[in-house]
Structure formats: C-alpha cells, structure tokens
Amino acid sequence: MKKLKLAVFDLSVGLALTLLVTACSGSEVSQTTSSPVTNSPSPTVETAPTEKSAASSPYSVDFSKDTANVSLEGFSSFPEDWGRWTDGSPASIKFVQNLPSSFELIFKAAAFGPNVNKDIIISVGSQQQKIQLTDKAAEIKVKFTGVPANERTITFTIPEPTSPKQLGEKDERKLGIAFNTLNIVETK
C-alpha cells in the first residue's frame, strides 16, 4: 500500500519560495520568507512572535487556535498544532467586522499535493489575485485597495483539493492549503 506523508509546517529553517503572481484590480502580491514543510503527520510548530498579537486585532487569525473572531467555510473542522487545512474549495474567511478599504493581507501557508505550483485565486469582493505556493511554508503579502465598505470575506479558490485517502491513507478530507496564521493590516 502506498504511503502518503502529509506536508505540514516546520518553521525552523528558511528556504526560498517561488511565487508567481498575476495581479488584478491594482492589487499587489509579495513573498518574504519561507520555511520547509516536513513529512510528519503530527507536526509541532514554533512560530516567531508577530508585530500584533491575535488578541489585539479583529483581523488576526491563528489557525492552530480557536477562530472565534471569524467564520470559516471550506476549512477542516478542527485545528492542528501547526494550523488548519482547507477542506474542499472554495475556502472562505468571514470577519466579524467589515474589511478596511485598503489593506495588506499577510498569511503563512503551504500547498498540498497537486496544488503545489498551481494557481490559487484569492478573492475580496470583485478583486482577484492569482498566486502559486510550494509545499514550503511561506509568508505571503497581498495588497488590496478599493474594497467595498460592507465587504467582510476573503475567499481562496483551490485548484485540486485532494484527499489523502485517494493516495492510500485513511484521511478523507480534501486538502488544499495548510494555513498557519493570517493578518490584515490597514493601509492608506
């Protein structure tokens, strides 16, 4: 029987990430640091402190903890020590408060299986960005401007959600992206 080793976060070593971007609606994308994803099914992750703690911002999400400040759709129903998987497509994050009209979306994530180096679409209202992730955890920055006043949702469209069961394991979730953290910083 073929064994699948799930990609998970290990933030101990930095590596370069190739990030291909197609920006729409005047938005920008950048990639800063990346870390390898290990092949351990029971990951442990140590993350560096962030500039803002999750408790201090209504726009901060630590996917390894309770996500009471957001409503998640298309995500695994339970967090893991390192974060949370998307389960199917699309995956949406709906905030309690409206999103700022201009902001930088900063998140740490890696792609699973056939989603590596495939277009992942990030949507905020009618604006869309296309990015590609590798199986290495990376901090990604995406800028959005001109966001409608009542918008509260960020959506990730994953090209090929894949169940580890299809690859010989028992896990039936349709994995796409492994998320560690997500933050929104208002810009002018």
User: What is the per-residue pLDDT across 86-106, written as a single tens digit (0 to 9) for each?
Assistant: 999 999 999 999 999 999 999
Backbone angles phi, psi at 113, to 5 degrees: 50, -125
CATH code for the part of the protein at 8-39+59-186: 2.60.120.260
| pLDDT tens per residue across span 102-144 | 999 999 999 999 999 999 999 999 999 999 999 999 999 999 9
Nearest to 18 by CA among 140, 128, 142: 140
Q: DSSP letter string over 33-68?
A: EEE-EE--SS-----PPPSS-GGG-TTEEETTS--T
* pTM (predicted TM-score): 0.74
DSSP 185: E
CA dist 50 and 32 (Å) reads 14
Confidence of residue 28 (pLDDT cuts 50, 70, 90): low
Collapsing DSSP states into helix, strand and coil, what is residue 39? coil
Segments making up each domain of the chain, as ranges: 8-39+59-186
Of the CA atoms within 13 Å of residue 137, those in its CB half-sphere come to 28
Question: To which residue do tokens 């996917």 refer?
Answer: 63
Which span out of 30-44, 51-65, 157-171 was modeled with the highest average pLDDT?
157-171
- What is the pLDDT at residue 91? 99
Question: To which residue do tokens 């020590």 refer?
Answer: 81
CA dihedral sign, ordered 132, 135, 136, 137: positive
